[in-house]
Structure 1
Amino acid sequence: MFNASIIISFYNDFSTLKTLLEAFEKQSEPNFEVVIADDGSKEEVVSQIKQIINCYPFRIQHVWQEDSGFRKTRILNKAIVASKSDYLVFIDGDCIPHKHFVKDHLVFRSPDIIIAGRRVNISESLKQHFLKEQIKEKSPLLFFLRLIWDSITGKTRDIEKGIRVPIKFINKKFGKFNRGILGANFSLYKSALIEINGFDMRYEKPFVGEDTDLEYRLRLTGKKVFSPRFRAVQYHFIHNRQNRISETENLEILKKTKETQQAFTPLGIDELP
């Protein structure tokens, strides 16, 4: 069995996906599979994925659904069902993991704990240097210096979250239990998600709600969220986002969840065909 199933939330950005897979190829923890949760990428991209799916030393599953708008929670539930490990690590398709990313999540795994990592927000201008200098480790020091300069100029943000200190005592001492889940960087046992019926598929608008809802329902079952300081590092490429016009509908769903105190969502994994 795999030590972890890495579930990648993905839509159309094949170039960044390749960079992400290159980063997973360099992981210090080798025993994992990747499940690409594809929310309706176009046929050309699906064909490109099929061409590379067997080019990596780890198993890759491509779970796809038709493009019918934002249905991230539905495709994530499908990926959960398809996953072969009892431990799941979630990452977005526009984020790149540190080479010890998988290892760090596994170090802190516990049945009653959700591990919540954080991320460095990198400007698009550094994207071209990332694969060569950081992932392939040709010039990691040079890339770090680029990060510092980019941070000084205000383009890269949260650079301090890219510091990794592999000392468990320090990670726990300065870690926090009151942090929320970041949907692009968290992990937990698969059984914890099955217990609450996975993601609530009523969330069909982006940006707000689905991660908070999941965290809230997990807490109702007695789970805690722990964010280990200086571990589970990832890098996120900053890009333009759509206008946040959908918050009201999502917040109404979240409000109802809090009112009913129902951990098991009525529209989750059980409702998949």
Structure 2
Amino acid sequence: MKPNISIIVSTYNSPEWLEKVIWGFSAQTYTAFELIIADDGSTTDTSELIKNLLQQVFFPIKHVWHEDNGFQKTIILNKAVLETSTDYIIMTDGDCIPRKDFVETHEKLRKPNVFLSGGYHKLSMDLSKLITKEDIISGNCFNVDWLVTNGMKKSFKNNKLSAFGIKSSFLNFITPTTPSWNGHNSSAWKKDILSVNGFDERMEYGGEDRELGERLVNKGIKGKQIRYSTTCVHLDHARGYVNEKALAVNKQIRENTKNTKSIWTEYGIKKGTR
């Protein structure tokens, strides 16, 4: 079946987590998609994993890689966008296992001039390591009872995993969270991403995803909240890439985007003005 959705998964030297994510996509109810791995300079462990899994999954995988030169997620994501072969793009991260209805929900809810803003549910390191391929295929890792039995605390946030139908629509409606472009779970038409020139490649970690969404909104592309309609479980990890200097730069770029109502970055897929 020819893909009509492209899924971009960002990763960096986390093959154990990436494998679990890929198994998550192998259990999807909607299957007409391609997977693009946006790899920010991982070692050969990741490329070997992808070669091995290519023989075991039903969907095509493209591995888009560049040399490790620090945190350059925005650059590799822009490269990955250009490698997609369909007109609709879902973006997520290589530490987020998608629930079986992840792709189906994005496909059903997509509309012209709209981007979708999904959610995630954070897990502890112990739970992250405990989850097996079988738990992913069976759906155990999205089952609140199973997760609580294995150490997860009871919380209102667990509704991200258990809400469906009318309940999920109601929770999306009442949530105070404004829809934003979330790197772990968002989607849009490729033409809309290209119309704002993709990600600003000056930005390192800290709001780089949201800045893209802010330019989409400035362009007239409305964000739709679906955090309780489609979700993924977020596997725990260290965050050694947090950089205070970069955070300050990112904040300034986002403030400029807001104040000038910018719809285009000169530091995106195309360099310079339009």
Contact 2:8 2:90 in 1 (8 A): yes
Q: Which amino acid aligns with 2:34?
A: E
Contact 1:130–1:143, Cα closer than 8 Å, also in 2: no
Find out whether 1:163 has 2:169 as its counterpart: no
* SS in structure 2 at match of 1:250: helix
Q: Note the residue ranges of structure 2 that are not aligned, 5 or more in a row.
A: none
What is the CA-CA distance between 1:117 and the residue it aligns to? 0.8
Summarize the alignment of residues 22-171 of structure 1 with structure 2, pairs less than 5 Å apart: 22-132=23-133, 134-137=135-138, 140=140, 144-149=144-149, 150-152=151-153, 158-165=157-164, 167=165, 171=168
Equivalence for 1:185: 185
| 1:219 pairs with 2:220 | no
User: What is the identity, as a one-letter code, of the residue corresponding to 1:239?
Assistant: H
Cα distance, 1:229–1:17 mapped onto 2, change above 3 Å: closer
Report the TM-score, using the length of structure 2 for normalisation.
Answer: 0.88
Distance of 1:37 and 1:214 partners within structure 2: 17
Name 1:14's counterpart in structure 2.
15
Q: CA deviation at 1:142?
A: 10
Q: CA 1:20/1:198 → structure 2, altered by over 3 Å: closer, same or farther?
A: same
Percent identity of paired positions between Structure 1 and Structure 2: 33
Amino acid at match of 1:109: R
Please tell me the root mean square deviation across aligned C-alpha atoms, in Å. Answer: 2.4
C-alpha separation in 2, matches of 1:143 and 1:160: 11
In 1: Cα distance, 2:269 partner to 2:227 partner: 32
Deviation at 1:173, TM superposition (A): 4.5
Q: Is the CA contact (8 Å cut-off) linking 1:170 and 1:229 kept in structure 2?
A: no
Secondary structure of 1:240 counterpart = coil
Letter in 2 for 1:111: P
Aligned equivalents of 1:118, 1:36: Cα separation in 2: 20
CA deviation vs aligned residue, 1:7-51 (integer Å, no higher than 9, x gap): 000111111111111111110001100000000011343233233
Task: Output the CA distance in 2 between the equivalents of 1:4 and 1:111.
Answer: 15
Partner of 2:251: 251
Q: Which amino acid aligns with 2:172?
A: G
Q: Which amino acid letter does the alignment assign opposite residue 197 of structure 2?
A: N
1:232 corresponds to which residue?
Answer: 230
Distance 1:218 1:31 in 2: 26
Q: Which has the higher mean CA deviation after the structures are superposed, 229-238 or 114-123? A: 229-238
- 8 Å CA contact 2:120–2:227 kept in 1: the answer is no
The answer to whether the Cα contact below 8 Å between 2:15 and 2:45 also exists between their aligned partners in 1 is no
Closer, same or farther: CA 40–229 of 1 in aligned 2, 3 Å = closer
- Displacement of 1:4 after TM fit? 0.8
Is the Cα–Cα contact under 8 Å of residues 120 and 157 in structure 1 kept in the other structure? no
Aligned length: 265
Counterpart of 2:225 in structure 1: which amino acid?
Answer: S
Q: In the alignment, is the contact (CA less than 8 A) between 1:217 and 1:264 conserved in 2?
A: yes
CA 197–100 in structure 1, closer or farther in 2 if over 3 Å, else same: same
Q: Which amino acid aligns with 1:226?
A: K
d(CA) in 2 for partners of 1:132, 1:31: 22
SS at match of 2:172: coil
Could you tell me how far apart the structure 1 residues matched to 2:37 and 2:141 are? 31
Task: Summarize the Cα distance change of 1:49–1:157 in structure 2 as closer, same or farther, 3 Å threshold.
Answer: farther
TM-score w.r.t. the length of structure 1 is 0.88
Structure 1 stretches lacking a partner, 5+ long: none
C-alpha separation in 1, matches of 2:136 and 2:162: 16
Question: Which residue does the alignment assign to 1:241?
Answer: 239
- Change in CA separation of 1:221 and 1:262 when aligned onto 2, cut-off 3 Å: same
Deviation per residue, 1:43-79 (Å, 9 max, x gap): 3432332333343110100000111111101100111
2:208 alignment counterpart: 210
* Secondary structure, aligned partner of 2:255: helix
Distance 2:14 2:44 in 1: 13
